[in-house]
Amino acid sequence: MKAAGSMTRRGLSLRVLLLAWAALPALAAANLVVVLNSRDASVTLLDYATGAEKGVIAVGKEPHHLIPTPDGKELIVASAVGNELVFLDPATGALKRRLPDIPDPYQLGFSPDRQWLVVAANRLDRVDVYRAGDYGLAKRFELPSIPSHVAFSNDSAFAFVTLQGSDDIVAIDLKAMTVAWKMKVGKTPAGIVTTPDGNHLLVGVMGEDHVAAIDWRKRAIVKRLSTGAGAHNLAPKGDGRQVFVSNRVANTISVIDQGTLEIVRRYDVPGGPDCMDLAPDGKSLWVTSRWIMKVSVLDLDSGKVVKQYPVGRSPHGIYVHKPPVAAAPAK
Amino acid sequence: MLPEPFAGWFGALQGWLFQTLVLPLLQVAGLAVYTEDAFNATEDFLWGALEIAVLAAVLLPLERRYPVERFARGSAVRTDVLYTLIHRLGLFPLFFFFTLRPLFDALQATLHLRGVPTPNLESLIPALAASPVASFLAYLVLLDLALYWIHRGQHAFGWWWALHSVHHSQRQMTFWTDNRNHLLDSVLTDSIFALIALLIGVPPAQFALLIVLPRMLESLAHANLRLSFGAIGERLLVSPRFHRLHHAIAASPRGDYRGANYAVLLPLWDLLFGTADFRPAPGATGIDDQLTGRDYGAGFWAQQWLGLKRLAGRG
């Protein structure tokens, strides 16, 4: 038996070739963008480089949000009125499987410990907690009204959900499977994220014009950051220190420093900016322009919308595929 | 489903109207929670406006040039214009949204959480999923069949006829008459229609066309227009001549109206269920007891009030 270090030149070349071949599908698929057309019950696949439409997939009614599975091998599209989860290949957009009987999956998130999938059922006033392993229902919470977006504490002890209808956020204790507390946050709260240090929640207060920063352990709003009318959704920037906020009425996107809780930049993005995802190179932000049936590409250096691509009606969730970093070739 | 460039043009107009007018109003009124619904309602409003514009542009001159009956367009026709604006520009859909939609959402939730399946045609006939056109036609035929039987019900039950007779009391029938309905009648028929659409799972991308296309043809069917589709065409699609017979006084004996030609789009249903009548000259429209003095009301409010009185057995 030969040691690895004593490979022949031919063996080495073969290994390099095999590694390159294995990395090919991922590299080739680096150009996929997935857009959910919530009013058309379809998913548009765009070519990242050219914006050309690569295909349209029919899914259940009202697909609003999507997330990759924790292992990154699948992309879950949640069809709210279709009552199903549709699993796509995140690299190619190919339909892999469907999971029916998930009632009204509007927005969803995996707990950081990968134990739970928490689903906000916006229309049915429920939050359902599923086991992340087999997607079996662990607990159903009736939470009036209009559960919207989901976030987690860094230790996965709590799931936080915004309630658009009652202007609250609610904390669900994922160990006891009980509602731990509820607090008022402002008119029609929507997007919610936990800051990287785990100390604050940032909530887009859509019915007003700001993001509320909440010390969730004290259940206190510590700051209101005036980002713009219709502060809606939040998406972390690549370095994790900053977070983007889409202001759907003001037609702007703000950037908040999550450490200092200050607004550090604002971009004009027309058409009702909604969900956002960073390009693999971190230089541009892809945004669904909800009211104009387009996806906008914002160049983060120049601050300009450099491209707009037509998609379906009321485009909502968006995912820009980021291929896994290829293993370094053996030397 | 909609062809380009129309889809793009329509979407841009919807986006502009929504962002310029509707969204700021919602924000000021503290109604941001209805943002997505209002965006969809803006689409419905635009469809209605587009329909009215197209119908008026095409049918007004045709009705003037080739009328079945000649009459001065007075308040009777203007009342029907008001009905059309109420039904197609969003007031009625708005009412429906705030009153009945929560009930339908709750019903759907209950059905789903209790494991009652709500199938769609594509799951029953998988081949339809591959062809949007075939799927559209299948839903169109099925919904038209439903509308035929709803219409039969409006004439068969005395209490329902008490309301539906508002629609038939127009003696100066024009394309505007299609929406001359008692509001309670509209609530009832739209609820049944929505329930059926829920149960058979109408695809949202097709919903607008499945509503808009039949509505435009229904308006055409009511037009005061000497237009026949020919011996074969009359049996394929409801024509103004075919539907005028349905409204004819001659076809409404005893004031409790049992008539013919109930179909909305496809005369096939009248042929199948024995209610087709292809006689060419039906005569004046209205209800026979109007000739002996029964009052169905001259304006919108009178018609609505008298409809309620008839429903209560006092009209």
SS3 state at A101: coil
pLDDT of residue B298: 92
As a whole number of angstroms, the distance between CA A43 and CA A95 comes to 10
Phi, psi of A4 (to 5 degrees): -60, -35
Q: Which residue matches tokens 């029907």?
A: B80
| Residue numbers of B between 58 and 117 with CB closer than 8 Å to A | 105, 109, 112-113
Phi, psi of B169 (to 5 degrees): -80, 0
Tokens of A255: 């950037």
pLDDT of residue B121: 72
pLDDT of residue B314: 75
- Measured between CB atoms, which of A103, A104, A292 is closest to B12? A292
Each residue of A91-150: pLDDT tens digit? 999 999 999 889 889 999 999 999 999 999 998 889 999 999 899 999 999 998 899 999
The model's confidence at residue A18, banded by pLDDT at 50, 70 and 90, is very low
DSSP A192-230: EEE-TTSSEEEEEETTTTEEEEEETTTTEEEEEE---TT
pLDDT of residue A17: 45
Domains and CATH numbers, chain A: 32-320 (2.130.10.10)
Q: Is B126 on the interface with A (CB under 8 A)?
A: no
As a whole number of angstroms, the distance between CA B86 and CA B303 comes to 15
Q: Which amino acid is at A288?
A: T
Each residue of A279-295: pLDDT tens digit? 999 999 999 999 999 99
Q: What is the mean pLDDT of chain A?
A: 89
Helix axes B91-99, B183-200, angle to 10 degrees: 60
What percent of chain B lies above the pLDDT cut of 70? 86
Q: Which residues, other chains included, contact B312 with Cβ-Cβ below 8 Å and sequence gap of 6+?
A: none
Strand order in the sheet with A305-310: A273-278, A284-289, A294-299, A305-310
pLDDT of residue B90: 67
Q: Which helix H or strand E contains B127, and what residues bound it?
A: none
pLDDT of residue B210: 82
Q: Is residue B1 part of a domain?
A: no
Tell me the residue ranges of DSSP E strands in A226-270.
231-236, 242-247, 252-257, 262-268
Q: Is A271 on the interface with B (CB under 8 A)?
A: yes
More confident residue, B133 or B130: B133
As a whole number of angstroms, the distance between CA A305 and CA A297 comes to 6
pLDDT of residue B196: 82
Q: Range of B242's domain?
A: 6-311
pLDDT of residue A8: 40
Distance from CA of A58 to the nearest CA of B (A): 9
More confident residue, A263 or B206: A263
Nearest chain A Cα to B36, which residue? A314
ipTM of the assembly?
A: 0.81
Cβ B251 vs Cβ B260: under 8 Å: yes
The model's confidence at residue B112, banded by pLDDT at 50, 70 and 90, is low
Nearest chain B Cα to A274, which residue? B36
- Which pairs from A14-21 meet CB under 8 Å and 24+ separation? A15/A330, A16/A329, A16/A330, A19/A326, A19/A327, A19/A329, A19/A330, A20/A329
Nearest to A272 by CA among B28, B35, B8, B26: B35
Q: Which helix H or strand E contains B83, and what residues bound it?
A: helix B75-88
Q: Is B57 on the interface with A (CB under 8 A)?
A: no
Q: Is the pLDDT of residue A165 over 80?
A: yes
A24-28, B164-168, B190-194, B303-307: segment of lowest average pLDDT:
A24-28
Nearest chain A Cα to B198, which residue? A81
Contacts of A293 in chain B (CB under 8 A): 8, 11-12, 15
Q: Is A230 on the interface with B (CB under 8 A)?
A: yes
Tokens of B268: 């096939």
Each residue of B53-108: pLDDT tens digit? 999 999 999 999 999 999 887 889 999 999 999 988 866 666 666 666 667 767 76
Subunit contact A103:B113, Cβ cutoff 8 A? yes
- Measured between CB atoms, which of B19, B35, B112 is closest to A103? B112
pLDDT of residue B213: 85
The model's confidence at residue A331, banded by pLDDT at 50, 70 and 90, is very low
What percent of chain A lies above the pLDDT cut of 90? 78
Q: Is the pLDDT of residue A3 over 50?
A: no
- What's the CA angle centered on A318, arms A315 and A321, to 5 degrees? 150
The model's confidence at residue A11, banded by pLDDT at 50, 70 and 90, is very low
Q: Is B53 on the interface with A (CB under 8 A)?
A: no
Cβ B250 vs Cβ B136: under 8 Å: no
As a whole number of angstroms, the distance between CA A183 and CA A216 comes to 10
Q: Which amino acid is at A280?
A: P
Our count of domains for chain B comes to 1
As a whole number of angstroms, the distance between CA A240 and CA B82 comes to 57
Q: What is the DSSP letter of A324?
A: P
Q: Is residue B91 part of a domain?
A: yes
* Number of Cβ atoms within 10 Å of the Cβ of A41: 23
As a whole number of angstroms, the distance between CA A131 and CA A139 comes to 9
Q: Is A104 on the interface with B (CB under 8 A)?
A: yes
Q: Is the pLDDT of residue A20 over 80?
A: no
Cβ A253 vs Cβ A244: under 8 Å: yes
Alpha carbon B65 to its chain's center: 26
Tokens of B288: 């026979």
Rounded to an integer, the average pLDDT of A252-259 is 96
